[in-house]
Amino acid sequence: MIDLGHDRKGEESSDQPFEGENAETLTIDIREMQLADLDGVLWVEQSSFRTPWTRTMFEDEFKNPDMAHYLIAQGHDHVVGYMGFWLIQKEAHITNLAVHPAFRRQKIGERLLFAAMRLAHRLGAERATLEVRASNDSAQKLYAKYGFQLVAIRKKYYNDNNEDAWIMWMNDLKTFFTGLP
């Protein structure tokens, strides 16, 4: 992920689903994140990363509405995933993507990625990029499925374990909107 000056870059942990709910029974809507969503976003964040962003870090993102764009996946009243990107000139820099462990492998990550890239495209982005841990096979596969390609490796980028970062780019966002499954 892009370095926002925040010490995140964690990895997965686990958590329990909502009582009486599961991904199979949820209808998922994707919409813009609001400040009122932060409790739910933090629940997803803390279940997904070893060094999660804090509430203040998310609140800071709302101070730059022209640049920072965040979406959530919502089931009933609950946030089950979220994604963000920074629009920098004609580039979308993906900052975050996470789906709560109880709701993974249900295409929610795909829907968030698609919605975010469509929004970025509408806002004028022509290319998109991100950083992902070298060991994060699931996320790499998701990005690759949607046309992101590995273009560089940033050695020992993650300071918690000296892990390398993969730098991935999607060079033509229009391509993103064709040939979808």
Ligand X SMILES: CC(C)(COP(=O)(O)OP(=O)(O)OC[C@H]1O[C@@H](n2cnc3c(N)ncnc32)[C@H](O)[C@@H]1OP(=O)(O)O)[C@@H](O)C(=O)NCCC(=O)NCCS
Q: Give the catalytic positions in this structure.
A: 131, 143
Tokens describing residue 144:
């690759």
Residue 172 engages ligand X in binding (rule: CB under 6 A): no
Residue 51 engages ligand X in binding (rule: CB under 6 A): no
Q: How far is the CB of 66 from ligand X (least distance, A)?
A: 24
Binding-site size for ligand X (CB under 6 A) equals 21
Q: How far is the CB of 144 from ligand X (least distance, A)?
A: 7
* 59 secondary structure, DSSP code: H
Closer CB to ligand X, 39 or 124, in the complex: 39
Residue 109 engages ligand X in binding (rule: CB under 6 A): yes
Quickly tell me which residue has 């709560």 as its tokens.
100
CA–CA separation, 134 and 97 (whole Å): 16
Closer CB to ligand X, 98 or 173, in the complex: 98
Residue 108 engages ligand X in binding (rule: CB under 6 A): yes
Q: What is the largest CA-CA distance in the chain?
A: 44
Q: Is 94 helix (H, G, I), strand (E, B) or coil?
A: strand
Residues 64-103 interacting with ligand X (rule: CB under 6 A)? 97-99
Q: Is 70 helix (H, G, I), strand (E, B) or coil?
A: strand
Mark 130-159 with x for binding to ligand X (rule: CB under 6 A) and - for no binding. Answer: --x---xxxx-xx--x--------------
Residue 168 engages ligand X in binding (rule: CB under 6 A): no
Tokens describing residue 141:
């596969």
Tokens describing residue 173:
């966002």
CB 111 within 8 A of CB 28: yes
C-alpha Rg value of the chain to the nearest Å: 15
Candidate ranges 14-22, 52-60, 61-69, 108-116; the one touching ligand X (CB under 6 A): 108-116
Q: Is 105 helix (H, G, I), strand (E, B) or coil?
A: coil
Residues interacting with ligand X, by CB under 6 A? 1, 12, 48, 97-99, 104-110, 132, 136-139, 141-142, 145
